[in-house]
Structure 1
Amino acid sequence: MRSLSLATVFAALSGFVVIYIATWALDVEQAEEFQAYWGLFFACTGFLDGLMQETTRGVSAARESGRRGEGRPWRLGVVLAFGALLIVALTGFWWMPLLVTGITGSATAFMAVGLVSYTFQAVLSGILSGLGLWTRYAGLIALDSGVRLALAVIAWAAGWGMPAFILITVIGAASWLVVLASSAEARQAVRAGVDVDRAPLARRVGSAMLATGASAVLITGFPVFITATTGPDVDTNVTVAGIILAVTLTRAPILVPLQRFQSALIVRFVEKRSNLYSALATPVAAVLGLGVVGGAAAWLVGPWILEIFFDEGYEVPGLILAVLTFASACTGSLMITGIAALSVERHRSYVIGWIMASAVALAVLLLPLPLEGRVCVALIIGPLAGGLVHLAALRGAARAQLTH
């Protein structure tokens, strides 16, 4: 587990550094486009993380109970990969020009191939996590992030520009091929089964994907919605690029490691179903405490960091950075309560909680408020609304367990 902790910290730091490098390697307009593309890709992978989560739960439950159904995550992954390829290939001409200019064809192709590869990476991640092969899973995470970081540094030094950063966004999704090629243990693990048959597996993966897709709206895709809902006459004291950068940077230290730790939390909650509230309290308290401490630090040194390390146009006041940091902790708490609901097979409530959170956040984002105000309020109120749904479901699960 120590290796997983180190890998998640490295993933958070490397994502931060890649975005930072992009702000220097590209002009402000290109950097804004890159952040939107980055956000969309990881929002789409957020949908596919539902496959990883349910695979983790199914493999872990099969290992704990000894039950083995006929469900095959790899086969389902092939179907989902083909679906992702078709959707991007057939619709990219319409929405890609809204994100990037001049290289829409290659950007669409990279997006399609990247999502196909990430589908299989999600399956392998779920299997490795469900079997408790944390060192192998940590290696996959570190490789995914390390490839992006190394190539970003090379692209900056070589002056390769926007096309290279588009490729860098998606290339880490091929890491699963390296892990399988280099590890006999990982190749043997791919035969692991889940505890349910094909139809229940497909339904549960679909539910999990709806929830993780909704979570991606709040976590990685939110900059896309900021861009889409902000007109040229917006009422704001900061630039759109500045607020997008602030959202991205304040999320990375909390949510990127937590995203990578989801599989470990699922295994923890599956093993501690009989004492779920106690198992839930520690990570929620830790994340909220980190949000308070991190928010104070962001208020004090955040504006200075933006001024020193970033170009003009990215200035954001300390109070906004503090609120956005605590908002990230609220989203992190929602992730944890959602994972707990999934672990006790409350798939419907898991989905409803995330959809509620995203819907409330997007509704607030449409209010006639200054940009920075509606972004901050949306990212706090939305997760709180969704968390209440999850907690209600967990209370119902606890009551049902007592009656048995």
Structure 2
Amino acid sequence: MKSLSFATVFAALSGFVVLWVASWSLDAETQMRHFQAYWSLFFASAGFIDGITQETTRAVAAAREEGKRGSASPWRLAAVAAGIVAVLALVGGVVFLGSVAPLNQNTAIGLLVFGLVSYVFQAVLSGILSGARLWNQYAALVAIDSGIRLVLAGVAWWAGWGLTAFLGITVIGAATWLLILGVSPQARAQIRVALDVDGTEFRRRVIAAVVATGASATLITGFPMAANAAFPADPGTGAAVAAINQAVLLTRAPVLVPLQRFQSALVVRFVEQRERIYTSLARPIAAVLGVGVLGFGAAWLVGPAILRALFPPELFVAGVPLGLLTFASAIMGALIITGTAVLALELHDWYVAGWVAGSVATFALLFVLPAAAGTGVAATAIIALGFGPLAGALVHLLGLARSRPHRTTGKAS
């Protein structure tokens, strides 16, 4: 687990550095905005696919814990899912990418299809490694995925490459699964690992997890796209939207990237401690909110100075909004943790309901507040990103509370 801790910290820092390098490598008025949107689109789309990781982790861990052996194969599911993802990415790219990367549309579509198809198989391997507790191999996958982007971003900056290179950098890490299987005998030995359910049930649960992780991804990494839609670019708001989008991406990375990478470990923890679920929940939630409080103070006090020193002046955000966005990331982290708990207890309907509630509440606030209350870009983003995820976490906790008598009865019987 120590290796996974180091890998998740490295992943968070790498994302920060890549965004920083891009801000100085790309023109702020056009290329940087397109890169932000493409980055947001790819990782939001990959977030849907992360449902495969979560359910595979749960199924492998449960099979090991309970000695069950179902007939499901995550690789068969991945092959079908990859075909579906390829079609959706191609069609979606043709329809929407003209506004995201109009200068490189064909290249952007091709890279998006490659990256998302590859990420399907990376998601399966991530779930298998986590469920089998091969933490060193999983840590290597996380670190190499992020490290490839970091190194190539530095090369692109040094060489003076433009937007096309950064589009490729966005997706290239999704091929890391091939490297891990190539160099790790332990990983290859788990290719035919047992799951605890049959194929039909596994597909049903994966679909539920995909819906939920997709809703979470739209909140975690897809917010810049939604903000662009809620505040169409014009001389009065374009720069403010770009600055807030960058601030959202930067303040999420230190809190949420490590937590996302630890989700698989949390699934295993909650599966093993399902009869003490509230006790198991308390520590990680308290930890992430504590990080949020510390992050608020750090962002408020030193965030503006860091932005002035490291980023172009067009992307500056003041200390208080920067701190509040950081704490909002911690609230999102609490939603991730409650969602992981209900998933581990196989409360898939509540899992989906919580994430959908959080997503709907966030984007409803994002689009309604400017018209109803006249809030600006920063205030709207802070309110939406704070109260939306809180609504989703409360739905998850309600699901745990309502299912507790059933679990107690089942245990007694």
Which interval holds the TM-score relative to the shorter structure? over 0.9
The residue that corresponds to 2:210 in the other structure is: 209
Contact 1:179–1:186 under 8 Å retained in 2:
yes
Relative to 1, partners in 2 of residues 1:320 and 1:238: Cα closer, same or farther, differing over 3 Å?
farther
Encode CA deviations 1:60-88: one digit per residue, 9 max, x unaligned.
00000010111111100111111010111
Contact 2:149–2:172 under 8 Å retained in 1:
yes
Separation (CA, whole Å) in 1 of partners of 2:403 and 2:67: 23
Deviates more, 1:185-194 or 1:172-181: 185-194
Q: Does 1:73 align with 2:74?
A: yes
Separation (CA, whole Å) in 1 of partners of 2:27 and 2:16: 18
Separation (CA, whole Å) in 2 of partners of 1:393 and 1:363: 23
Separation (CA, whole Å) in 2 of partners of 1:12 and 1:42: 14
In the TM superposition, what are the counterparts of 1:277-356 in structure 2 within 5 Å?
277-356=278-357
Q: Does 1:381 align with 2:382?
A: no
What is the CA RMSD across the aligned residues, in angstroms? 1.1
Encode CA deviations 1:288-320: one digit per residue, 9 max, x unaligned.
010011101100111111111001201111110
Q: Which runs of 5+ in 2 are unaligned?
A: none
The residue that corresponds to 1:403 in the other structure is: 409
Q: Which runs of 5+ in 1 are unaligned?
A: none
Deviates more, 1:218-227 or 1:231-240: 231-240
Please tell me the residue identity of whatever aligns with 1:261.
F
Deviates more, 1:27-36 or 1:266-275: 27-36
Separation (CA, whole Å) in 1 of partners of 2:131 and 2:263: 11
Contact 1:234–1:371 under 8 Å retained in 2:
no
Contact 1:18–1:152 under 8 Å retained in 2:
yes
SS across alignment from 1:174: helix
Separation (CA, whole Å) in 1 of partners of 2:85 and 2:233: 33
Contact 2:181–2:187 under 8 Å retained in 1:
yes
Deviates more, 1:186-195 or 1:235-244: 235-244
Separation (CA, whole Å) in 1 of partners of 2:234 and 2:118: 40
TM-score (norm 2): 0.96
Separation (CA, whole Å) in 2 of partners of 1:193 and 1:48: 21
Q: Does 1:64 align with 2:65?
A: yes
The residue that corresponds to 2:14 in the other structure is: 14
- What is the identity percentage for the equivalent residue pairs of Structure 1 and Structure 2? 53
Separation (CA, whole Å) in 2 of partners of 1:206 and 1:232: 35
The residue that corresponds to 1:393 in the other structure is: 399
Q: CA deviation at 1:397?
A: 2.5
Please tell me the residue identity of whatever aligns with 1:212.
T
Please tell me the residue identity of whatever aligns with 2:200.
A
Contact 1:234–1:370 under 8 Å retained in 2:
no
Q: CA deviation at 1:190?
A: 1.1
In the TM superposition, what are the counterparts of 1:202-281 in structure 2 within 5 Å?
202-233=203-234, 239-281=240-282
TM-score (norm 1): 0.98
SS across alignment from 1:194: coil
Contact 1:238–1:316 under 8 Å retained in 2:
no
Deviates more, 1:235-244 or 1:221-230: 235-244
Separation (CA, whole Å) in 1 of partners of 2:85 and 2:61: 27
Number of aligned residue pairs: 404
Q: CA deviation at 1:234?
A: 8.2
Relative to 1, partners in 2 of residues 1:251 and 1:340: Cα closer, same or farther, differing over 3 Å?
same
Separation (CA, whole Å) in 1 of partners of 2:226 and 2:266: 29
Separation (CA, whole Å) in 2 of partners of 1:92 and 1:46: 17
Contact 1:235–1:370 under 8 Å retained in 2:
no
SS across alignment from 1:160: coil
Contact 1:238–1:315 under 8 Å retained in 2:
no
Q: Does 1:125 align with 2:131?
A: no
Contact 2:240–2:377 under 8 Å retained in 1:
no
Contact 1:236–1:372 under 8 Å retained in 2:
no
SS across alignment from 2:315: coil
